[in-house]
């Protein structure tokens, strides 16, 4: 069965430091991959998505993610975080031949001054 | 921002009472979704709609029903609310242009916080 694992429930980091949020998925078929961000008391909004082509995907607010098929991972990175990046980040996966989008349990990024 | 509103934004109700949440969109998007968000579970799909009067179940549909009589409105009903349905409920929409919803970006509403006592 398709599943998404976000290994870190919380990631504390200081401002201007780099950050990586990890996402692994299990699937036996080709997938589409997404990262969404949820700021406090708001709905989710898309950061970036991988559908096909280049495995390095750039998104909004300086975030990027790399699709690694052999490791079934789609980790999110930012070279220098800001206080305003404090939010919850969700990885999501869908399979080509299904009608389902499966979300991970989320990673709470806390940026400290 | 995508034009999605949810009402009410907050609701407190008692066990056993019916509750209806409304999602309204101004984007004329084909697909609409209801999710619930709970700590440790992320977002889980309750029901979705792929057109007027066309709906299907998600992974946590028990105890919920939906209706879509107009493109712009998608209603979620808890027939008899239980404490396990205390959650934050999000509506989302996607364009449906490709005819296959799973590669499209979903746009989320602001959420409804429901407390069932």
pLDDT digits (tens, 9 = 90+) for B63-116: 999 999 999 999 999 999 999 999 999 999 988 766 666 778 899 999 999 999
**pLDDT, tens digit (0-9, with 9 covering 90-100), for B2-52:** 699 999 999 999 999 999 999 999 999 999 999 999 988 889 999 999 899
- Quote the minimal CA–CA distance from B11 to chain A in Å: 15
| φ, ψ (nearest 5 deg) of residue B102 | -80, -5
Please tell me the predicted confidence (pLDDT) of residue B99.
60
Yes or no, beta carbons of B102 and A103 under 8 Å apart: no
- B42 CB neighbours in chain A (<8 A) are 4, 90, 103-106
Cα separation, B32 vs B72, in Å, equals 9
> CA B89, CA B84: separation in Å to the nearest integer?
13
């Amino acid at each position: 069965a398709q599943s998404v694992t976000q290994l870190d429930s919380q990631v504390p980091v200081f401002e201007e430091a780099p950050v990586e949020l990890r996402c692994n998925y299990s699937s036996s078929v080709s997938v589409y991959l997404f990262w969404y961000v949820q700021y406090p008391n708001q709905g989710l909004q898309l950061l970036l998505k991988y559908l096909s082509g280049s495995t390095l995907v750039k998104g909004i607010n300086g975030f990027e993610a790399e699709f690694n098929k052999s490791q079934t991972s789609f980790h999110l990175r930012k070279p220098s975080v800001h206080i305003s990046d404090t939010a919850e980040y969700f990885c999501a996966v869908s399979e080509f031949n299904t009608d389902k989008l499966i979300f991970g349990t989320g990673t709470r990024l806390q940026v400290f001054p | 921002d995508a034009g999605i509103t949810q009402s009410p934004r907050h609701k407190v109700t008692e066990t056993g009472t019916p509750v209806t949440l409304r999602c309204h969109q101004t984007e004329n998007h084909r697909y609409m979704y209801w999710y619930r968000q709970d700590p440790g579970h992320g977002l889980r799909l309750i029901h979705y709609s792929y057109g007027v009067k066309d709906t299907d179940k998600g992974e946590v549909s028990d105890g919920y029903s939906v209706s879509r009589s107009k493109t712009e409105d998608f209603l979620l009903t808890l027939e008899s609310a239980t404490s396990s349905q205390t959650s934050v409920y999000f509506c989302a929409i996607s364009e449906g242009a490709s005819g296959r919803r799973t590669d499209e970006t979903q746009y989320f509403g602001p959420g409804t916080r429901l407390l069932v006592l």
